[in-house]
A and B are shown apart, each in its own frame.
Chain A
Amino acid sequence: MTDVLNTLALVSNFIIVPGLAYGSQLALGALGITIVYAVLRFSNFAHGEMMSFGAMITILVTWVLQARGINLGPLPTALLALPLGIVATIGLCLATDRLVYRYYRQKRASPVTYLIVSVGVMFLMGGLIRFVIGPNDQIFADGARFIMKAREFKQMTGLNEGLAIKSSQGVTVLTAVVIVAVLFWFLNRTRTGKSMRAYSDNEDLALLSGINPEQVVFIAWIIAGTLAAVAGTLYGLDKSYKPFTFLQLLLPIFASAIVGGVGNPLGAIAGGFVIAFSELIVTFAYKKVLGYLLPTGLAPEGLAQLLSTDYKFSVSFMILVIVLLVKPTGLFSGKTL
């Protein structure tokens, strides 16, 4: 019985808790991609850099706050700085839309033109970010490190395996839940949200009913900017902030959006968790689990790891390929908001 409990603690510690946090970050990122896709109808390659930008502004503000001795006690100071990060990212989104995307919208350019434009934006933003904060790792997490430490858990339960919950993981999940709840309330309950869904569903009909397309686009960028800044900051808090990682993060985020069905917010959330958990399950070393569950003597000598951790990014690609082969529309047949 203890063996089973130990296994449970082990799996929770290395898969379930990190998976929930990572999944929330991916889900928020994928939601941003999906909203832009649903309204502006293109895959926004610059979304990773938008996340990076939001995180960067938050970090800069956090540093200022830290220097003045302002903090949130056990919570990370970054939460206090986040609103400014969000506002800055929204500003960046709206400015980009005004200067770059609007022209192509009026010209009714093809999605692939948008795509290549968004790649240009991605590199422009990436250069800007590296120019301001440099290409190196930045650590900005403060406050209490853990909600529960592995040692405390062991003492509490008397098990061999510890279960540690970082406060950044707790903060991530809670923030994500709040943001998603607000977003769904907005989309389903408010007039503007409904008009956005209508516009995404059928543009012509929406225009005929007197919905102002520019306003819908405006709101879409506000939502996308907010989601990006929050997702980027949470990822930076949880792991660490490095401009380069956001280019790599683009693949899992796109995979999440596609797995769930592009354009479908519910799908984006589900996709985020599918990708996060698959990554962790496939790269987890099962040596200890097998040691607990198998009779003594049968435990494997190697790590019993399906895929080396170096390849965790390839997991999202494989899932992407499987989805494209088996069900290209995604789990929640996408393309409505």
Chain B
Amino acid sequence: MNNLYRNLLLFAVMLALVAVVGISQSWNVALAILNLCLISAIMTLGVNIQWGYAGLFNAGVMGFAALGGLAAVLISMPPVPAAWQAGGNGVVTGLAFGIGTVLAGIISWRKTAHLGGKRYWLTALIAVAGYTLMRWVIDPAIVAVEAVEPAKTGFLGGFGLPIMLSWLVGGAFAAGVAWLVGKVSLGLRSDYLAIATLGISEIIIYFLKNEDWLTRGVKNVNGLPRPVPYEIDLQHTVWLQNWVETYGISLIDASSIIVKLCYAGLFVAVLVVILWLSETALKSPWGRMMRAIRDNETAASAMGKNVTWRHLQVFVLGSAVVGMAGAMLTTLDGQFTPTAYQPLRFTFLIWVMVIVGGSGNNFGSVLGGFVIWFFWIEAEPIGLALMELITSGMAQDSPLRHHLLDNAAHMRLMTMGLVLLLVLRFAPRGLIPEVKR
């Protein structure tokens, strides 16, 4: 019981910190921080499923989050009919050829074990031929699609469905890629997964930056539809105008606070569902088995548990949650910016959240997501103020002073690295330690 009070206190302090920002800066800022805290918490839960339950190191959180963002674009943006007309068929046929090649390669590899060394050549031949065919079909189509009003569209658009659907689809995208990566690298040495995920996440980002026909690349996709009302529409409603008059706050502030609250409501709902599912899973026989595998793989496999398969399962699950959070983040931003995906922000920061929160404890992950995101945002003013203080003794035009002030932003990187190392060393169990069951 003592622990329960302690944990409740930690959460209360956290919410109080957000409230302090609300009172001292503005409620708009506080709610913006809160929304990102919620998304971070969901992402952290995903990573905690992989690391806390199973001890798998995923160094590619960024890639899975970006796949979620891609899903948001593909699901919600309206299709571009002109682009479909120009090259839709070519792109679809080309992709079909690509998928066909992969399937043909797999089948030929599986069925030709008796050929010995020739097997490699046959599979390679199929791969090269299929790839050439795909490029031959798809390249002119892509050029045609990208030529359609490149300043405004230049891509195929999406399906024009409600954007909240993309939260599920984003999870599915991430799960699919995670399955492929896991299939290749799990069951081998433990660090292969880390290296493979590091690689795939970079490649996903390169893909999203360069395939303009799909994502407009570095031109970004702006104006994604929203699941919540627009500020401008709210400002025209009579009830809000009356309400604002009664309480004497500005109309613009009130509308944007309401929009942020709507988002917060949606995110809290998702967070609660995922948290409940994770907790239930952790308490179930499945969770016991996962912990047994994590703590002693040899013993667990001696008890007849298929360690590799379970690792794959848990890796896919965790990645799906990360993908979902990625889609939610893009929904909140209202735009898809491939260049915004930085490993520091999306892979590393999430890891710090998991470790600081307490690996293996879902509530710890949520708290970690909140705490680290809050300080990540507030560290900028704090860090700058600190640098001002340190350099205040120097001459105004001292080059060292300028250098320090200019590079103060990189202090965050160092601080987070330091926080991770310190927590790992001195409090490896985190803020809310894993419960011994």
Contacts and interface: CB of A to CB of B under 8 A. Distances in A.
Interface of A: 42-43, 45, 100, 103, 110-113, 115-117, 119-128, 130-132, 134-135, 247-248, 250-251, 254-255, 258, 262, 302, 306, 308, 310-311, 313-314, 316-317, 320-321, 324-326, 328
Contacts of A132: 407
Contacts of A248: 202
B206 A128 contact: no
A280 to B, nearest CB: 17
A325 B194 contact: no
B194 A127 contact: no
A317 B204 CA distance: 12
B421 A117 contact: yes
B188 interface: yes
Interface in B207-241: 207, 209-210
A120 B55 contact: no
Majority DSSP secondary structure for residues of A touching B:
helix
Contacts, number: 131
Contact of A127 (B199, B410, B424): B410
Contacts of B131: 306
Given A119-B59, A250-B198, A258-B195, A328 B188 contact: yes
22 contacts: A43-B195, A103-B425, A110-B190, A113-B424, A115-B57, A115-B190, A116-B420, A123-B344, A125-B417, A127-B414, A127-B416, A130-B407, A131-B414, A134-B403, A251-B195, A310-B206, A310-B210, A314-B203, A317-B202, A320-B195, A324-B184, A324-B192
B191 A42 contact: yes
Given A124-B421, A127-B410, 8 more contacts: A42-B191, A100-B425, A112-B194, A116-B57, A117-B424, A120-B417, A123-B414, A311-B207
Interface residues of B, number: 46
B411 interface: yes
Contacts of B355: 116
B244 interface: no
Contacts of A308: 210
Contacts of B336: none
A317 to B, nearest CB: 4
A134 B406 contact: yes
B418 interface: yes
Contact of B206 (A120, A135, A247, A313): A313
Contacts of A111: 189-191
Contacts of A258: 192, 195
Shortest 3 CB-CB contacts between residues of A and residues of B:
A127-B414, A127-B413, A124-B417
Contacts of B139: 302
A62 to B, nearest CB: 18
B203 A124 contact: no
Interface of B: 55, 57, 59, 120, 131, 139, 184-185, 188-192, 194-196, 198-200, 202-203, 206-207, 209-210, 343-344, 348, 351, 355, 403, 406-407, 410-418, 420-421, 424-425
A262 B190 CA distance: 13
B195 A123 contact: no
A258 B198 CA distance: 14
A313 B202 contact: yes
A324 B185 contact: yes
A311 B210 contact: yes
A116 B424 contact: yes
Contact of A321 (B196, B343, B411, B421): B196
Nearest to B355: A116
Contacts of B348: 119, 123
Nearest to A335: B189
Nearest to B412: A127
B414 A124 contact: yes
Contact of B407 (A116, A131, A254): A131
A117 B202 CA distance: 21
A254 to B, nearest CB: 5
Contacts of A328: 188-189, 192
A122 B343 CA distance: 12
Contact of B417 (A121, A135, A317): A121
B199 A317 contact: yes
Q: Which of B195, B414, B415 has the most CB of A within 10 A?
A: B195
Contacts of B403: 134
A291 to B, nearest CB: 18
A127 B202 contact: no
Nearest to A133: B407
Contact of A134 (B59, B190, B407, B417): B407
